[in-house]
Amino acid sequence: MRPSTLSRRSVLRSAVAGLLATGCGSRSKRPIEGGYVDGGGARGHAFRDGTLAAGGWRDERRRVVIVGGGVAGLSTAWRLARAGVDDIVLLELGSEVGGTSRGGVVGGLRCPWGAHYLPLPRVEQRALAAFLGDAGIAVGAGDDGRVRVPDRLLVRDPEERVAGLGFFEEGLWLRAGASDDDHADVERFEAEVDGLLRLGRDGRRLFDLPVAHSSTELQDLDRTSAAAWCDARGYTADRIRWYLEYAARDDFGAALEDTSAWALLHYFASRPDPATGASAPFLAWPDGNAELVRALVRSAPEVEIRSGEIATRVEAGPNGAVVTSVAPDRRETTRWTADAVIVATPQFVTRRLLAEDPARDARAAFRYSPWVVANLHLEKRPMERGFPAAWDSVLHGSESLGYVDATHQLDRSDARDAVWTWYLPLVDRDESAARQRLLATPWEAMRDAVLDDLRGVHPDIDEVVTRIDVVRYGHAMVKPTPGTLFGGGRALAQEPIGAVHFAHSDLSGMALFEEAHWQGTRAAEEVLARLSIDHEPLA
C-alpha cells in the first residue's frame, strides 16, 4: 500500500491506532505523567456556542484596536508602533499571545508548542528583515543576500535525519532499500525544482515569500492538486511519493490530494538561493518561535495587551469601527470605539465576528487541519542506531512528522535529560470529523500513540520518558487546497470593510511565520494610510 493511500484514509500505521484506541495501555513499567495543555479552546467554543458569561458594560476608546494576538496581530502592533502610533489595545482570547508559535516548559526545559523555526530571510523580505533588526536578532546583511545573525542562533549540526528500517540516516531522503529508479525519481524532482529557481516573465521569482510577491506565470498550477501533478509527472513510486507527502503534511497539514500543486512546489522552490540552489539555514531556539513572539511583544512596549479578552462583534461605522469584547474572568463587557480596527483572526472566527461581511461565503471556504503537538521529557537519551542525534528526526512511513529535539541547541550528552517535540497533522479530508475524534481522545490513548510511533527506532522509549504533555489544535493550519491560492477568495477576504482591516496567515493560504508577519505588516500599513501617517512601506 503506497503512502498516498494511507493519507487518504488518514491513518497512522501505529500512532492513529493508539489515537482510536481507549485502553491499549503503555508498556512502561512506571507511570508517565502529563496531560492536555489548554490553548484557549474552551473560551473559543463558548464564543461559538453563545455561552460566554457577559458582565457589566463599559466603554473605552483607543486609536486602534487589534483583535487576535497570534503572529499576525503582534506584527500589526509592531508595525504601527514602529510608525509612532500609540493608544493601541490588542485583544487576545487565550491566556497568552503567540497562537501556534507559543512555547512552554516541560521538565524544567523550554520547548515549543507549535512552530519551531524560521528560515533565514533574504534582505528583500523587507518587513521581516526590519523586524529582526529591530529585535536585535539580525546584525546586518550577509554576502549571500540574507540577513546576518549570530551563528549561535542557527540550527547546529547535525540538522536532520530519517529512519525507515530501524536505524537513522542523514537527511530526509531514505537511501536504505531504495532502488535505482527511486534515486532517479528524486534526482529528477530536484532538477525540476532547480529549474523553478528563476524569475518569471514579469520579473518576479516564480515562487517567493511572501506569496503575494511571487510571479503570476505559473499560477494555473493552483487549479491542480499536488497528487494529480505528481501522477502526471510520473512520481508514483512509494519512495518519492512518501517524500512529497511528507512535504505537504509538514507545511500544510494536508494530503497531496488536498494540496495545490503550486503550493507543493512553493515548499521546495521559495527559499533556496537562485544562484546556488542552497537552502536557507534555520533560525531556532529551544522553545521555537516563542522567542520571536517575545521579540514582537518587546518591540511594541506601549501596546496594551489584554489576554483572556474575547472579541464577540466587530462593526464598521461612518467614522471608525466598534468592537465588543467579553472578559469572562473579570465579568466585563467592553464596547471599544476606534479610528481603525485590525481583525487578525482566522477566517472561521472572523466570519462570526463581523456584523456585515461581503466576503462571508469566501471565508467559509477556508479549510483548516487539526494538529497534535506533544512534548516528551526524557530523563536520558534512549537507544537508537545509525546517524547520531539531530535537531529534526523524521520517521519514514509514519504519518507523524517525527520529532524535534528542543534541547539540540544546548550542550548535550547522552546522560542529560532532554525534551522532544512530536508533531502529528491529521490530514483527513473531513476536518470536522478529525477534530471531533481528536477532542474525544483520552490523554492516555494519545500518550500510547506517541510512544508506539517512536518504539521502532527507540525500543526503550517507555523507560526513559517521564512526562508527555499534549496540545491539540482543532484549526492549526489553513490548507492550500486546489484553487484557493489564486481563485479570488483570499483577495476578497483581505479587502477592508470601512475602517475594519484584516490580517492573518490564512489570507496568504499558508500558515508560515513569514506570511503571518507580512499580512500583519500589510494591514498595519493600510491603517497608517487611513490615518494619514507618513511611513516607508515595508510590505
Which has the closest alpha carbon to 376: 289, 274, 453?
453
Q: For residue 440, what is its C-alpha cell?
A: 474525544
d(CA 509, CA 482): 11
Average pLDDT over residues 131-137: 97
Query: Is residue 60 predicted with pLDDT exceeding 70?
Result: yes
pLDDT at residue 330 in the model:
80
Lowest mean pLDDT: which of 49-58, 273-282, 293-302, 413-422?
49-58
pTM: 0.93
Window from 24-38, 171-185, 415-429 with minimum mean pLDDT: 24-38
| 106 beta partners | 109
Instruction: Identify the residue with better confidence: 82 or 50.
Output: 82
How far is it, in rounded angstroms, from Cα 359 to Cα 341? 17
Minimal CA–CA distance to 500: which of 357, 325, 326?
A: 357
Question: Helix 71-82 crosses helix 513-530 at what angle (to 10 degrees)?
Answer: 40
In 139-284, which ranges are continuous DSSP H helix?
A: 180-195, 226-233, 238-252, 261-269
Least confident of 41-45, 488-492, 517-521: 41-45
The whole-angstrom distance between residue 526's C-alpha and the CA centroid of its chain comes to 25
pLDDT value of residue 23: 44
Instruction: Examine the pLDDT at 48 and tell me if it is beyond 70.
Output: no
Q: Specify the higher pLDDT residue, 54 or 183.
A: 183
Q: Could you give the dihedral angle defined by the CA atoms of residues 243, 122, 110 and 390, in that order, rounded to the nearest 10 degrees?
A: 40
Nearest to 19 by CA among 480, 493, 470, 489: 470
Contact 305, 69 (CB under 8 A): yes
> What is the structure's pLDDT at 416?
76
**Joined grid coordinates for residue 22:** 481507549
pLDDT of residue 45: 61
How many other C-beta atoms can be found within 10 angstroms of the C-beta atom of residue 111? 27
Q: How far apart are the first and last CA of the chain?
A: 46
pLDDT value of residue 3: 33
Q: Residue 65: how many CA atoms within 13 Å on its side-chain side?
A: 30
Q: Which of 411, 393, 385 is CA-nearest to residue 156?
A: 411
Work out whether the CA dihedral 504, 505, 509, 514 comes out positive or negative: positive
pLDDT averaged over the chain?
91
% pLDDT > 70, the chain:
90
For the record, the C-alpha cell of 51 comes out as 455561552
Tens of pLDDT, residue by residue over 433-486, are 999 999 999 999 999 999 999 999 999 999 999 999 999 999 999 999 999 999
User: Taking a C-beta distance cutoff of 8 angstroms, is the pair 333, 58 a contact?
Assistant: yes
Express each pLDDT in 184-233 by its tens digit.
Answer: 999 999 999 999 999 999 999 999 999 999 999 999 999 999 999 999 99
Dump pLDDT digits (tens) for 325-376.
999 888 899 999 999 999 999 999 999 999 999 999 999 999 999 999 999 9
| Cell reading at 236 | 508514483
* pLDDT(129) > 50: yes
Contact predicate 261/221, CB 8 Å: yes
DSSP 504-535: -GGGGTS--HHHHHHHHHHHHHHHHHHTT---
Angle (CA) 233-236-240 rounded to 5° is 95
Pairwise CA distance, residues 30 & 15, whole Å: 21
Give the single-character DSSP code of 99.
Answer: G
Position 109 pLDDT exceeds 80: yes
